[in-house]
Structure 1
Amino acid sequence: MKEGGERRYALLLAAKDSEYVTKMYDGYYNVFVQAFGTRARESARNLLWTPSFMPSFRRSGREGEWRWDVSIRKVMIMEDLLQCTSTFGALEDIPQCAMIIECHQDEVWEVPFGAKVLAYSEKTGVEMFCVGEHILGIQGHPEYTKDILYNLIDRLVSNESIGRKFSEDAKAQVEAVEPDTKFWELLCKSFLKRR
């Protein structure tokens, strides 16, 4: 990209819009714009929408555990994030840990060649990583709100992907803990708006 050129972004969405998200947000695209866009029109123009699963980690990283993880997880931030000032320049007060919504069926265990791990949890050694200044990977969902997560839990029960007891435990944990939404939104916006 030429200096001063327009930045373009790609989002990877591994799920179709649910009826709930369509009704409440007019689709996941708007969930992302609401969380990370400063102006919807600017975000829409610069965002390339990729509504399909691309198995990039299977080529160069390693993943495992195809069981559902539905929770708000405590993620420990590594010092490498503090040293990425060119990538995350707008961040000033970086916490040692941050809570994030998780709802997925696989875990990334190893990052692709050239990637740097930026955060981990007691569940996995890779919760967030970057590849230079071009790729930011987060295993959680900084764009999700609790209402979206509750709806996902209900959908997973109705299609028998998870059991009733699992869903009750997940909802109780989600009710008891708040995600650090502001931190994750600031981190993602800082990455997207860097120069």
Structure 2
Amino acid sequence: MEKKKRYGLLLCADDSDYVKKKYGGYLSVFVDLLGSDNRDEEMWELYRVGKGEFPTEEDLSTHDGFVVSGSCCDAHSDEPWIRRLLSLLKILISMNKKVLGICFGHQILCRALGGKTGRNVRGWDIGLTTVEFLHSANKLSSLNVIQCHRDEILELPAGTEVLARSDKTKVEIFKYRDNVMGIQGHPEYNQDIVLHILQRLLDNNSKLIQTSHAYAARDSFNRPEPNREAWKKLCRSFLKGSESTVPLTLSLREVKDH
């Protein structure tokens, strides 16, 4: 029998009660996007790194890839668990493990490679954003993606390639060699999840976000939701391809948002 592939989610945020009740937690949300259609082919394991639960040395050798989630924390901060995560990511990169970073994960991967992150001078980017894919040999193609961040990559490390940008964020997707990719947006989110996050911020009178920004984020969903199948193809092809097979150009059927 062929050995199952093993993947780990490095969860840098807390599961909200809402996401746990409706979706089974963020591990289920990520597996829905990244997992094989045949769930018997692979194993996914959760490591709550934000709470100090890190993979062992054996886990590092037996896993085929890791995903780094978003977080409420800043990738440029020096909390003990963030410094430990940086050390772990440097090890994974040196082992040539596939590592996919989402939002905070995108930023912390940049930092682990020697880049710089910080506040986006344009402020919060929450809601639906269109990202444009860059490729010298092809015309730009675009996809909508859900965003929820106020930090961004300020300086890219040497050896990285920008794959996508947006009007508000210079580095929406980057790749390093064949084993590291960061995505600033949240392809794992749906409209329901991000609207619940916004409502929770408003209900708690959060000082993190202005009410006008929250309302603007809601209004952004007047546009088509992200094409989930196209994002699945992009993310899965990177994480599970034998080589870097990120489709920089997609068919018109694939990029046309619903």
User: Shorter-chain TM-score: what band?
Assistant: 0.7 to 0.9
Distance 1:50 1:134, change over 3 A: farther
Matched residues in 2 for 1:189 and 1:153: separation?
28
User: Structure 1 residue 99: deviation in Å?
Assistant: 0.9
Q: Which aligned pairs between 1:66-81 and structure 2 lie closer than 5 A? A: 67-79=123-135
**Letter of the structure 2 residue corresponding to residue 124 of structure 1:** T
User: Structure 1 residue 32: deviation in Å?
Assistant: 0.5
SS state at 2:198 partner = helix
SS state at 2:221 partner = helix
Q: Higher RCO, 1 or 2 (CA under 8 Å, sep at least 6)?
A: 1
What do residues 126-151 of structure 1 show as CA deviations (whole Å, max 9, x unaligned)?
A: 10011111111000011111101111
Of 110, 122, 125, 1:57 maps to 110
Matched residues in 2 for 1:81 and 1:71: separation?
30
The normalised TM-score by structure 1 is 0.79
Partner of 2:31: 33
Partner of 2:153: 108
Matched residues in 1 for 2:4 and 2:157: separation?
27
Identity within the alignment, %: 37
Matched residues in 2 for 1:109 and 1:8: separation?
33
Distance 1:139 1:171, change over 3 A: same
**Letter of the structure 2 residue corresponding to residue 65 of structure 1:** R
Unpaired segments of 5 or more residues in structure 1? 83-93
Distance 1:80 1:137, change over 3 A: farther
SS state at 1:165 partner = helix
User: Structure 1 residue 71: deviation in Å?
Assistant: 1.7
Distance 1:101 1:8, change over 3 A: same
Instruction: Kindly indicate whether residue 230 of structure 2 is the aligned counterpart of residue 183 of structure 1.
Output: yes
Partner of 1:98: 143
Matched residues in 1 for 2:9 and 2:182: separation?
11
CA contact (8 A) 2:8 2:46 kept: yes
What do residues 57-96 of structure 1 show as CA deviations (whole Å, max 9, x unaligned)?
A: 34511222264321211111011697xxxxxxxxxxx971
Partner of 1:85: none
Partner of 1:90: none
CA contact (8 A) 2:134 2:140 kept: no
User: Structure 1 residue 97: deviation in Å?
Assistant: 1.1
Q: Which aligned pairs between 1:3-14 and structure 2 lie closer than 5 A? A: 8-14=6-12
SS state at 1:144 partner = coil
CA contact (8 A) 2:124 2:213 kept: no
User: Structure 1 residue 163: deviation in Å?
Assistant: 2.9
Distance 1:12 1:68, change over 3 A: farther
Distance 1:130 1:186, change over 3 A: same
Matched residues in 2 for 1:179 and 1:172: separation?
15
CA RMSD of aligned residues (A): 2.7
**Letter of the structure 2 residue corresponding to residue 133 of structure 1:** D
Matched residues in 2 for 1:111 and 1:64: separation?
12
Unpaired segments of 5 or more residues in structure 2? 51-81, 86-107, 243-258
